[in-house]
Structure 1
Amino acid sequence: MKPDSESSRLSSNDSRDLAIAIARIAPSDGDYETAIPGLTLHRRRALTQPMHCIYGLGLGITAQGRKQVVLGDQILNFGPGQSLLTAVDLPVVSTVMEGSHTEPFLGLMLQLAPQDILQLATEMRLPVPARDCDFCSIAVESLTEGLLDAVLRLVQLLADPVLLPCLAPLLKREIAYRLLAGPHGAQLCHLINQGAPSQQIAGAINWLKRHFAEPLKIEQLAAGFHMSPSTFRQHFRSITGLSPLQYQKQLRLQEARQLMLTRNLDASVTASRVGYESASQFSREYARLFGQPPQRDIRRLRLN
């Protein structure tokens, strides 16, 4: 298999087959979990309100329409013929910018496994980036023909439940290979750069995801990753667009929103579960992030 080359990049018209394949599985607006672990399909017939969410290590592709993703002060727009890759878990604001009844927004997200990336990069003997090389946690690149073809075959495989269990892992492996061999390769190679700041911050992010309800002690967290507090804060902000405290707050509030939406918990109980000592502070910060107080926001989400 040859690495994807610059000359094989696509025009925006070459994603039509992928759009057709997604539309067959996603006939109406919504987010569709699929039988392939980590693969979700998305359809919208109109522009959406900005949605706060966490993008993990994974690939996003818009087959039809256009999407905008905001991380801190970084704004990324991507449409057909482009791919978005996030290399660590990031709190972003996602908005569908183009979609209609006749031409709805159609896209997909595919989660990637760090251990698979590490194994493939080792097998491919890819060069390890220098420790002081700039790390790009999120980026938009042009799709290559090979990557689009592999993604299309993965989506089409959903129509064949007999072959799916055997072929889906192989196709996901091919997609990871093509990402490493293509324009996103340098971005992913930071995952194998032992001891680099990008990998240390990725470790800190994983810790915060598991312990977001606990009090945050920056000095202890920084020391655990062999950094001074000031250096830790600097690298953390450069990668995530947020301070560690802001990142923790995003995790708490997004988990709170999910708890209230799916488990019918009231605001005071939810506040305690995600680590807030003050229900009033929780409500203020929730409204600041999501635009409305908790109960009103949940009612709006259920109506929509």
Structure 2
Amino acid sequence: MARAVSRLAQSEGVTPTPLANAWLLKLRESVPYHRGRNRGLSVAVAISGRKIVTYRKNRVVNDSGNIITMHGDTDYDATVEASRSEPYIALKLQLPPDLLAETLIRFVETGTQAGKTETDATFFCEPLSEALADPLLRLVESFGDPADCHVLAPLCLQEICYRILRSNAFSVLKSAIAEEDTRLVRAMRFIEAHAHRNDLSIDQIASQIAMSPSRFAHRFSALLGMSPMQYRKQIRLEKARQYLLSAQISVALAAEAAGYASTSHFNRDFNSAFGLPPRRYAETVRKLGTVRS
């Protein structure tokens, strides 16, 4: 894992991968303070260096051999300990919300829900197990081949999501699943089909699955770690990302295709989601030679 990730993380800062929800980070200097924000279910695996993360009163150290998982729409504080001889290098993932929803629902269907525990699934750090390290390594290795990235990477993400949700840290999340939550997948498909509409509302989405708007918004955010409108934004940005890579259109046209009226607003949202401005992101991924359309 260390060799595979270090080989890809050659430049300082964020290095995108052919997958929208996976990237690498390399820092050769310490960062005394950083304010971050998490949405959805994210994963960070440290290869070298140290990152100290504080959430509320919880403080964990993510260094070589550890994995941090975070769930929900939450702010956190972090410091990074790094040097040129031992840079901070990490693999980061944001698991797709639809994959998270479908995996949680399958736990219900197979009767593998866990009982409630005192463990908090919002913020968790533990040693990286062999069972989870294996699909993570296969995911990183798939970036080197377009066919592997297109066919095998989604399968790796499925296994990664499954392994994470099977851990004790997510017993609370699994035990919170209700039968009505199977409708959330239908809601997500409706959002995906209508993400381009500027008039799309919580009321319209909730009516499609016969839930009250307040109940729908609460269940969506509680289980998927982001609001329905945040998910719509994610869908729009992914559409723009694909246009930039496959059609090689201008940033302005990509913003318009994604439903943005303002290119500057699009640039800010894209940079926040993918770690780089749109044009630089597209140029960097094309250099990898493994663009996934």
TM-score in terms of structure 1 length: 0.54
Please tell me the residue identity of whatever aligns with 1:219.
D
Q: Of residues 247, 250, 254 in structure 2, which corresponds to 1:265?
A: 250
Instruction: Please say if 1:103 is aligned against 2:103.
Output: no
Question: 1 CA distance for matches of 2:121 and 2:238?
Answer: 20
Deviation of the 1:61 alpha carbon: 1.6
Please tell me the residue identity of whatever aligns with 2:194.
H
Q: How does 1:8-157 map to 2 (within 5 A)?
A: 18-24=1-7, 26-29=9-12, 31=15, 33=17, 41-46=24-29, 59-66=43-50, 79-80=62-63, 81-85=65-69, 97-109=80-92, 117=103, 121=107, 127-128=112-113, 139-143=123-127, 145-147=129-131, 150=134, 154=138
Worse overlay, 110-119 or 222-231: 110-119
Q: How does 1:129-278 map to 2 (within 5 A)?
A: 139-143=123-127, 145-147=129-131, 150=134, 154=138, 178-186=163-171, 189=174, 193=177, 195-197=179-181, 199-201=182-184, 203-214=186-197, 215-239=199-223, 243-249=227-233, 251-252=235-236, 255-256=239-240, 259=243, 263-267=248-252, 269-276=253-260
TM-score in terms of structure 2 length: 0.55
Residue by residue over 1:53-98, the C-alpha shift from the partner in whole angstroms, topping out at 9 and shown as x without a partner, is 9977664322224569999x9x99762254244679x899999945
Q: Residue 252 and residue 189 in structure 1: after superposition, are their counterparts in 2 closer, same or farther (change >3 A)? A: same
Please tell me the residue identity of whatever aligns with 2:167.
G
Deviation of the 1:226 alpha carbon: 2.5
Deviation of the 1:213 alpha carbon: 0.6
Deviation of the 1:273 alpha carbon: 1.7
- Checking the alignment, whether the CA contact within 8 Å between 1:87 and 1:187 is kept in structure 2 is no
Larger CA Rg, structure 1 vs 2: 1
Question: 2 CA distance for matches of 1:120 and 1:229?
Answer: 25
Residue ranges of structure 2 left out of the alignment (5+ in a row) = 285-293
Please tell me the residue identity of whatever aligns with 1:60.
A
Question: 1 CA distance for matches of 2:2 and 2:68?
Answer: 17
SS of equivalent residue, structure 1 residue 227: coil
- Checking the alignment, whether the CA contact within 8 Å between 2:68 and 2:125 is kept in structure 1 is yes
Question: 2 CA distance for matches of 1:251 and 1:27?
Answer: 29
Deviation of the 1:265 alpha carbon: 2.0
SS of equivalent residue, structure 1 residue 79: strand
- Checking the alignment, whether the CA contact within 8 Å between 2:40 and 2:71 is kept in structure 1 is yes
Query: Larger RCO: Structure 1 or Structure 2 (Cα < 8 Å, ≥ 6 residues apart)?
Result: 2
Question: 1 CA distance for matches of 2:75 and 2:242?
Answer: 16
Deviation of the 1:223 alpha carbon: 1.8
Identity among equivalent pairs (%) = 26
Deviation of the 1:222 alpha carbon: 0.4
Please tell me the residue identity of whatever aligns with 1:235.
R
Deviation of the 1:208 alpha carbon: 2.3
**What CA RMSD, in Å, does the superposition of the two structures yield over aligned residues?**
6.0
SS of equivalent residue, structure 1 residue 216: coil
SS of equivalent residue, structure 1 residue 207: helix
Aligned length: 267
Please tell me the residue identity of whatever aligns with 1:179.
I
